[in-house]
Amino acid sequence: MKKTSTRLADGRELLYYDLRDDIVRDAVDPRPLDAVATNAEVRRDPLLGDSVAIASHRQGRTYHPPADECPLCPSTGGRHTEIPAADYDVAVFENRFPSLAGDFGRCEVVCFTSDHGASFADLTEKQAALVLAAWTDRTTELSARPGVEQVFCFENRGAEIGVTLGHPHGQIYAYPFTTPRAERMLDSLAAHHAETGRNLFDDVLDRERAEGERIVLDAEHWTAFVPYAAHWPYEVHLYPRRRVPDLRALDEAAREEFPRVYLELLRRFDRIFGEGEPPTPYIAGWHQAPLSDPRREGFALHLELFTVRRTSGKLKFLAGSESGMSVFINDVPPEAAARRLREVASA
């Protein structure tokens, strides 16, 4: 992997990650851009104890542009985009409309490929490995920034999820606080250890592998399963078999196997609802340990992948119980979801 760092016209950082070492990235962004002005702030909810990002400047962000005006495609001819180069493998840049900025963290966009019509599932294993390398590199650099407490690499795919740009891409949030979801997992981890003396993540993975009925894919270094109390109609958690706190700690064997396993999961997701169905909308995100929490070494890095589509042509909306009280009601039994995801395995 070759990494090249440069700047866009407004001063934002742009990084190219290339498969070939002989690539030269010297294209300059000629756009007359003003410096990014944000008013992002983080406020603490006194009743729930969680943090909310206030970012009103995001109201003006690009919204569902036609393909020939996509800001994530390479620059060509007289049309200049966020990527000055005429082609690229993986590109990462600071978001022009960040939810978190300055003293309140950082937001980055990760373009998985220059091919506007592709998806992550269309990548080759080499390309997917390059994305993993970029995620790991960004985790390393962002974790070293003052004030960053947790790094979240994720992808939103599909208009049903709320994606405003159709180009295959994800994002990275560097939070200045521990996210509520991670805090709850850490609390459960501590309570379980106090009661049993064992690690909760290890016990969850051991249980799923022992029972088997919710296992979707069991490889040498990775295990994918539908959780016992899945919140979403089709939800898969992907764990490395050797527990590590974040992407930086993965060993080479796990890194080498990951592209094959993850691409297979994504391709199965697109086949859940049968032939002729539109691509399955999903959210996929890496859950990494907060950086300064003393419990971080017990945390288990894992990826959570889920869709809001519950059956053909129907979505799972967060209604009163889910949105109002955070109590999920799942229409698809986890065992049935796992069985379906095994049925649509690649031949």
pLDDT tens-place string over residues 193-238 = 999 999 999 999 999 999 999 999 999 999 999 999 999 999 999 9
Cα gap 199→294, rounded to integer Å? 15
The reported pLDDT for the residue numbered 56 is 79
Amino acid 60: pLDDT = 63
Least Cα distance to 116 among 64, 72, 161 occurs for: 72
> CATH for 180-343, among 3.20.20.150, 3.40.30.10, 3.40.50.920, 3.30.428.10?
3.30.428.10
Separation CA 172–CA 108 (nearest Å): 5
Domains 2-175 and 180-343 share a fold: yes
**Measuring CA to CA, which residue among 302, 329, 330 is closest to residue 208?**
302
Residue 37 · residue 55 · CB < 8 Å: no
Report, as an integer, the average pLDDT of 236-249.
Answer: 98
Q: What integer pLDDT is reported at residue 36 of this predicted model?
A: 84
Beta bridge partners of 218: 223
The pLDDT assigned to 39 comes to: 82
pLDDT digits (tens, 9 = 90+) for 29-75: 999 998 887 888 999 999 999 999 998 777 667 767 898 999 999 99
* pLDDT-above-90 percentage for the chain: 91
Q: How confident is the model at residue 78 (pLDDT cuts 50, 70, 90)?
A: confident
Per-residue pLDDT of 161-189, as tens digits, reads 999 999 999 999 999 999 999 999 999 99
Per-residue pLDDT averaged across 285-311, rounded? 97
CATH superfamily for domain 2-175? HIT-like (3.30.428.10)
Give me the chain's average pLDDT, please.
95
Nearest to 341 by CA among 305, 302, 287: 305
Identify residue 165 by its one-letter amino acid code. L
State the DSSP code for 45.
-
Report pTM.
0.96
Is the pLDDT at 249 greater than 80? The verdict is yes
Measure the CA–CA gap between 91 and 88, rounded to whole angstroms: 7
Give the pLDDT score at 59: 66
Type of residue found at 32:
P
C-alpha distance from residue 334 to each of 185, 188, 215 (Å): 20, 21, 10
| pLDDT band, residue 341 (cuts 50/70/90) | very high
Segment among 65-79, 111-125, 298-312 with least mean pLDDT:
65-79
Q: What percent of the chain has pLDDT over 70?
A: 99
CB of 63 within 8 A of CB of 46? no
- Angle CA 14–18–23, to nearest 5: 95
Candidate list 80, 169, 192, 221, residue with the active-site label:
169
Token output for 226: 């539908």
Q: Which two tokens stand for residue 153?
A: 């690499």
Mean pLDDT within 5-18:
97
Instruction: Classify 91 as helix, strand or coil.
Output: strand
What pLDDT is stored for residue 275 in this prediction?
A: 86
287 is known as an active-site residue: no
In degrees, rounded to 5, the angle at the alpha carbon of residue 236 between the alpha carbons of residues 133 and 276 is 95
Q: How far apart are CA 52 and CA 325, in angstroms?
A: 17
Candidates 8, 167, 197, 38; CA nearest to 106 is: 38
Between the two ends of the chain, the Cα-to-Cα distance in Å is 31
> How far is Cα 111 from Cα 121, in angstroms, rounded to an integer?
14
Does residue 311 or residue 77 have the better pLDDT? 311
Would you list the domain boundaries of the chain? 2-175, 180-343
**Cα–Cα dist 29/81, whole Å:** 8
What pLDDT, on a 0 to 100 scale, did the predictor assign at position 38? 83
Our CA angle for 180, 193, 287, nearest 5°, is: 35
